[in-house]
Amino acid sequence: MSRAYRHNLNRSTLSAGALQLAVDRVGIRFGGVRALEEVSLQVRQGDIHAVIGPNGAGKTSLLNCISGLYRPQQGSIVLHAGQGSRELTRTRPSRIAALGVARSFQNIELFKHMTVLDNLMLGRHVHMKHRALASLVYIGPARRQEIEHRELVEEVIDLLEIEAVRKKLVGSLAYGVQKRVELGRALCMQPALLLLDEPMAGMSAEEKEDLARYILDVNEQAGVTTVLIEHDMGVVMDVSDRVTVLDFGRVIAEGAPATVSRDPEVIKAYLGEPHATREIQPA
C-alpha cells in the first residue's frame, strides 16, 4: 500500500559514479565546416552533465553523434550499460534507442494530434512485443501487456504532474507543458541515458524554473543519468553536477559548475573578447 513507485525508470545497472559514456576525440566535418574537433568527455552514472556553449559551438552535433543520427569521422563513443560496453559510432539509431539512450529534441517532436497518454505509450513501443492478431482484438497477452505498460506510464504522469492533461491533445497544450510531455515520453523508454537538447529554449523564466525542477526530480527520484544541452548559463549552474563547455567545436573547459563559470576562457566565449565588444558599440 506504500505510495513508492513500483517501476524503476532507470535502466542502467551501474553504480552511481561509474563511467557510463566515454566520448573520445570525436571529430565531424560538414564540407569545410569542422563541427566537432577532438571532443572528449566522460559522463558518470547518476550525474546531470551539462554541455554548454554559444550558438554554433557544436552542442547539438555532439548529441546527434551520441544518438547515432550523425556518424563522426574520427574518434569513438562508448556506452557502458548493464549488458557490457558498446561502441556507438557504428550503431544504427534504432539500436542505440534499444540500448536505452533516449532523447528529446530542440523543437518539440510529439504527435500533436494525439493525446498525451498516447504519446507517452509510444515511449513504451521499444518494449512491446506485438502479435498482430492478439493486438488487433485486444485479448489475453496483448491486453495484459497494455495494462502493464500503462502502469509505468501513469507513474511518469505522476512524477511530472501532468494528470490534468492526460487525455488532452498535445497540440492544445501550452509550450511548457508540451516540453514536459516530451521529457515524459523519453522517460517512458526507461532510459539508461537521457539526452535533452535545449529543453528550456524559448521559455519564460518561470517555465524554465518549473522544468528545471522536474529535471532534478527525474534525476533524484529515478536516478537517470542526464546529458543536458543548454544555452542559459544560469539554469545550468543550478541543476548540473558537471559542465562541459564547447566553443567552435572544441572543448574549452570542463568541471564543476562553480569552477567553469569562473574560467576566463568560458567568460570570453560567452561575452566575446574585450576589444571585440568595443568595436560593435556605436561610435
Partner 1 sequence: MSAEATFPQLLRRLAGQHPDRHALREKRYGIWQPITWAQYEQRVRRFAEGLASMGFRRGETLAVLGDNRPEWVIAELAAQSLGGCSLGLYPDGVVDEVAHVLTHGRVRFVVAEDQEQVDKLVELADSGAIDTVEHVINYDPRGLERYTQPYLAEFTAVEERGAAAAGWWQQQVEQGRPEDVAILCTTSGTTGKPKLAMLTHANLLWMASSLMSEDPIGADDEFLSFLPLAWIGEQMIALACALQVGFALNFPESATTVQADLREIGPRVMFSPPRIWETMLSQVQVRAGDAGWLKRAAFGWGLRIGKRAAAARVRGHRSGALLRLQHAVAQVVALRPVREQLGLTRIRRAYTGGAPLGPDVFEFFHAIGVNLKQIYGQTEICGIAVMHRDDDVKFNTVGVGIPGTEVRVADDGEILLRSPAVFAGYYRNDDATADALRDDWLHTSDAGYLDEDGQLVVIDRAKDVMRAPDGTRFSPAFVENKLKFSPHVMEAVAFGGENRPYVAAMISIDADNVATWAERNHLSFTTYTDLAQKPQVYELIAQHVARANRDLPEGARVKRFVLLHKQLDADDEELTRTRKVRRGVIAERYADIIAALYGDGRDVTIRTTVTYQDGTRVERDVTLAIESVNGDSAAAGPAKRRGLLAGSR
Where do contacts with partner 1 occur on this chain (CB under 8 A)?
Answer: 1-5, 151, 154-155, 157-159, 161, 163-164, 166, 217, 220-221
**By C-beta, is 206 or 279 nearer to partner 1?**
206
Nearest distance, CB of residue 42 and partner 1, angstroms? 25
Let me know how many helices (H) and strands (E) the chain has, helices first. 11, 10
Among residues 95, 61, 94, which one has the least CA distance to residue 86? 95
**By C-beta, is 65 or 235 nearer to partner 1?**
235
223: left (phi over 0), alpha (psi -120 to 50) or beta: left
**For residues 34-59, b (16+ Cβ closer than 10 Å) or e, as one string?**
ebbbebebbbbbbbbbbbbbeeebbb
Nearest distance, CB of residue 205 and partner 1, angstroms? 11
Secondary structure, 3-state, 130-150: CCHHHHHHCCHHHHHHHHHHH
**By C-beta, is 144 or 166 nearer to partner 1?**
166
What strand order describes the sheet that includes 84-87?
33-44, 19-30, 74-81, 84-87
Nearest distance, CB of residue 4 and partner 1, angstroms? 5
Nearest distance, CB of residue 145 and partner 1, angstroms? 17
**By C-beta, is 90 or 166 nearer to partner 1?**
166
**By C-beta, is 78 or 237 nearer to partner 1?**
237
Nearest distance, CB of residue 163 and partner 1, angstroms? 5
